[in-house]
Structure 1
Amino acid sequence: MRAILLPVLIAASTVLAGCGGGSGSTGNDTLSVAATAVPHAEILEVARPILEKEGVRLQVRVFNDYVQPNDQVAQKHIDVNYFQTEPYLDAYNKGRGTSLVTVTGVHIEPFGAYSRRHASLEALPAGADVAIPNDPSNNSRALILLHTAGVITLADPSNALATQRDITANPKGLKFRELDSAMLPRILDQVDLALINTNYALDAGLDPTRDALAIEGSDSPYVNFLVARPDNKGDPRVQALASALTSPEVREFIERKYKGAVLPAF
């Protein structure tokens, strides 16, 4: 299926489960990082040997949700995280009263619309069941993609926190189901269309460049950032990781490994 390559009008996305709680760095040479499995933890493995040359030992903790990585950093159990876009971070800080900050942008994961029932967005039936993320930033990102594809109309498609209440036209009468982002690939067989973050799509074996019916363009402003606290953003270990994540080695890995499904943002 050929995807419709779409530009986007504004900016967000991001994973857990793995290693349980624990404290932050266990020594002055260790830096702990919360990340999603794909592609974030994979990219961190490329950065690992670069950091080792700087005398920094990387401790990666993998998560499969979008809340715990920020909670762990805010509570100082983990030093930094790498999984999210700035709009998502802004919404988290506003909702939790925290002040986590971006360190450097690393990559873009073009957001996509997927279906196992229909070959195109035009083929969606009246009253189609559409699953979208339930967190504010990715919820709006899904709606903006559908607006850009001409499936719905939003009052202000530049609003990074648009909701269903902002839909001014829905010609097909789409019925939206809001679910946790991690759930969306699992229910793809049960809905007409699902709007899925690329990290979860890749983890589920989907190829965004081949399987998506619509996908954000390479100009997507939804950059995934390395994130820290204000008190440790300037830590030499954090800055060393920022440099490693924006190195030629990481750029080459992203371009070779993901073949357009993930794009360098530096």
Structure 2
Amino acid sequence: MKKSRVLTALTIAATAVVLAACGSTAKKTTTVTIGASPTPHAEILKHIQPELKKEGVNLKIKQFQDYVLPNKALASKDIDANYFQHTPFLKEWNAKNKGNLISAGSIHLEPIAVYSKKYKSLKDLPKNATVLVSNNVADYGRVLEIFKDAGLITLKKGTDTTNANFKDIATNKKNIKFKTGYEPKLMPQLYNNKQGDAEVINSNYAVQAKLSPAKDAIAVEKSSSPYSNIVAIRPDEKNNKALKKVIKALKSKSTQSWIKKHFKGSVEPVE
């Protein structure tokens, strides 16, 4: 009996040692919190969550409904990164707020587009037509490019569209009135209410409103646009291994294929 008890005790002790050893070699999990717009950014991040979990990264997603708070949250270290903006927007925010946020990588392009419930193409717009544009100054160059490509306006010589505004228009064939100052998220509502002759809507808000740039827009910016959406981080996060895994997952071929299939042209991956 005593011998049996000794053997049992030894077995229990050995098992405890093995379990302790296993515990010490278990993969450590690092939590990363990324701020994102609900569509498509948060959707894309949710898609890569299972893959990142296998890599030891617990990805938490904090959704923002506007373009103001995500950079403030990142700068104040409330989140580890954000995913909602393009580089010109980030540059403008840094300049206005004395910030130093940087890009960790370009992920996708959301083609900005012009929509209208009254006309079927830009060329159908009448003289003195009113085009509603959001208050997102960083997108004005994109809008100008669309109307320039349609032959409706020309720009002043030497204009850099990444920081252009409507004062840079040289000639305006139909004397189109570009009315600005609206919250980006309200643009689909203005479109549905026919507030202007046409409305310019960012793809994330268009998709949320069940609009497809490929099918519903009367004009879409070209795929060569420099306005690809990025993951922004603080400079001190440059060598963050967990964030590097996030970027790798976002830029993987499987994620790129999923983006193309899931969003059907409303969002295009940056290869």
User: TM-score, normalised on structure 1?
Assistant: 0.86
| Separation in 2, partners of 1:152, 1:114 | 18
**Matching residue of 2:97:** 96
- Aligned twin of 1:132: 133
Looking at structure 2, the residues matched to 28 and 136 of structure 1 have their Cα atoms a distance apart, in angstroms, of: 40
1:24 corresponds to which residue? Answer: none
Q: Do structure 1's residue 226 and structure 2's residue 228 form an aligned pair?
A: no
The 5 Å alignment of 1:1-266 reads 29-155=30-156, 156-178=158-180, 179-188=182-191, 189-266=194-271
Aligned equivalents of 2:40, 2:86: Cα separation in 1: 14
Aligned length: 240
Superposed displacement of residue 159, structure 1: 2.8
Counterpart CA distance in 2 for 1:183 and 1:161 is 23
Deviation at residue 99 of structure 1 after TM alignment = 0.4
Amino acid across the alignment from 2:256: R
- Residue 256 of structure 1, CA deviation: 0.6
Aligned residue type for 1:146? F
Native 8 Å contact 2:144 2:161 kept in 1: no
Task: State the distance in 1 between where 2:149 and 2:135 align.
Answer: 20
Q: Distance in 2 between matches of 1:194 and 1:170?
A: 18
Instruction: Specify the SS of the correspondent of 1:190.
Output: coil
**Offset at 1:136?**
2.0
The answer to whether the 8 A contact 1:91-1:137 is kept is yes
Q: SS where residue 145 of structure 1 aligns? A: helix
Tell me the alpha carbon deviations over residues 109-141 of structure 1, each in whole angstroms, 9 at most, x when there is no partner: 111111011111111112111111222211222
Equivalent position of 1:13 in the other structure: none
Tell which structure's C-alpha radius of gyration is larger: 2
1:57 positional shift: 0.8
Matching residue of 1:17: none
Structure 2 distance, partners of 1:149, 1:63, is: 34
For residue 183 of structure 1, report the CA deviation from its aligned partner: 1.6
- Give a deviation string over 1:19-39, Cα, whole Å, max 9, x none: xxxxxxxx9721111101111
Deviation at 1:53, TM superposition (A): 0.6
Residue in structure 1 matched with residue 25 of structure 2 by the alignment: none
Q: 2:174, 2:119 → 1: CA distance?
A: 14
Q: Distance in 2 between matches of 1:47 and 1:28?
A: 16
- State the Cα distance separating 1:237 from its structure 2 match: 1.1
Q: Which residue of 2 aligns with 1:3?
A: none
| C-alpha RMSD of matched pairs (Å) | 1.5
Q: Are the equivalent residues in 2 in contact too, given 1:144–1:157 (CA < 8 A)? A: no
Q: Is the 8 A contact 2:142 2:221 kept in 1?
A: no
* Deviation string, structure 1 residues 6-57 (Cα, Å, up to 9, x no partner): xxxxxxxxxxxxxxxxxxxxx9721111101111111001111111011111
For the 8 Å contact 1:133–1:142, the answer to whether it is kept is no
Is there any run of 5+ residues in structure 1 with no aligned partner, and where?
1-26
Q: Determine the C-alpha separation between the residues in 2 that align with 1:192 and 1:28.
A: 52
The AA in structure 1 aligned to 2:165 is T
TM-score (norm 2): 0.85
Question: How many angstroms does 1:157 deviate by?
Answer: 4.9
AA partner of residue 60 (structure 1)? I
Indicate if the aligned counterparts of 2:123 and 2:150 stay in contact, CA closer than 8 A. Answer: no
SS of aligned partner of 2:237: coil
Q: Measure the CA separation in 1 of the matches of 2:100 and 2:246.
A: 20
Percentage identity across paired residues of the two chains? 38
- Which SS does the other structure have where 1:177 is aligned? strand
